[in-house]
Amino acid sequence: MPQNAPISMQELLLRLIKRYTFITVGVFITAFALEAFLIPNSVIDGGIIGISMILSHLTKWNLGILVIVLNLPFIILAYSKMGLKFVIQTLYACIVLAFALNFFAGYSATQEAFLATVFGGIILGVGVGFILKNEASLDGTEMLSLIVSKKFGCSVGEFIMCINLFIYLAAGKVFSWESAMYSILTYFIASKVIDGVMEGFNSSKSVRIISDDAGDIGNALIEKLDISVTYLKGIGGYSGQDKDLIYCVVSRLELPKMLDIIRDIDSNAFISIVDVHETYGGRFKKKV
């Protein structure tokens, strides 16, 4: 049986350069969001960065150094769970963040708290999304949550939510309750943007079609949409008869035309459509 060719050193090096480039870009975007939008308006992030922002405000210690120091125990703790590559990349991200925060220190993009909350949250989400997508992190509480959730049976999300609740309560006492509310809004916006960056904004659709005319539908999709389809075998639950299923992935723009093609051939076809945020490998376009 033929084996896949091993990855060359050149390809591995290119992957490494690409990963660290995106981590670095993500860190600078994150630092810009913090220094230009959130910090001047007393709006904080969640997790270790949020704790660091509160401590920096109270003690006047350097924010970047606090982020490294507070994250360090969690980075070490994450070694057994996440591996050496994640630890090195996370440590690199924290060190670069310390530099980037000092680079943007003193710059303010707006003094309007609501604008700072919305645009700061969006920019922060993009930066953190780049970092997470390339297997690094800036938040030790997320690393801790992976371990705690296993031991105590709570979900990762529940643990992070509890930690952030205490952080925002502390922000309300240190800054103001208005700042705490803006901080919660920032966290919500950033988390949605992170999901978009992680999963991809240009989502495609995976489509499953069950029809007695599966062959005709498959041929028509290949002919008219220039896509690849896969036939799957199934058995009808009521009839017990063999059924042919069609599986394919299309863009959102192609979906309406696909539905028209299917209905023209079999108006009773069963169609299941699911969001697909990213696809890897395979051949989704027909080669000429």
CATH code of residue 255: 3.30.70.120
**CA torsion, ordered 43, 58, 91, 84, to nearest 10 deg:** -100
Q: Is the pLDDT of residue 27 over 90?
A: yes
154 and 180 part of one domain: yes
182 and 67 part of one domain: yes
Q: Token pair for residue 58?
A: 């109270």
Q: What is the pLDDT of residue 34?
A: 93
Query: Which domain, by its residues, includes 227?
Result: 204-276
| Choice between 139 and 53, residue whose per-residue pLDDT is larger | 53
Residue 28's CB is within 10 A of a number of other CB atoms, namely: 19
194 and 210 part of one domain: no
Tens of pLDDT along 61-86? 999 899 999 999 888 887 877 788 88
Q: What is the pLDDT of residue 157?
A: 62
Q: What is the pLDDT of residue 287?
A: 38
Q: Is residue 187 part of a domain?
A: yes
Q: Is residue 102 part of a domain?
A: yes
Computed over every residue of the chain, the mean pLDDT equals 84
CA distances from 90 to 96, 103, 139, 159, 178 (A): 10, 20, 9, 21, 32
Tens of pLDDT along 147-174? 676 666 666 666 777 888 888 899 888 8
193 and 222 part of one domain: no
Report, as an integer, the average pLDDT of 93-97.
93
Q: Is the pLDDT of residue 104 over 80?
A: yes
- Give the end of a domain, one of 175, 199, 223: 199
d(CA 187, CA 182): 9
CA angle at 128 for the pair 126 and 132, rounded to the nearest 5°: 115
167 and 193 part of one domain: yes
Share of the chain above pLDDT 70, in %: 85
Q: Is the pLDDT of residue 279 over 80?
A: no
Residue 128's CB is within 10 A of a number of other CB atoms, namely: 28
Helix (H) or strand (E) holding 107: none
φ/ψ (deg, to 5) at 230: -125, 135
d(CA 116, CA 44): 11
For the chain, the first-to-last Cα distance in angstroms comes to: 27
225 and 142 part of one domain: no
Q: Is residue 181 part of a domain?
A: yes
99 and 164 part of one domain: yes
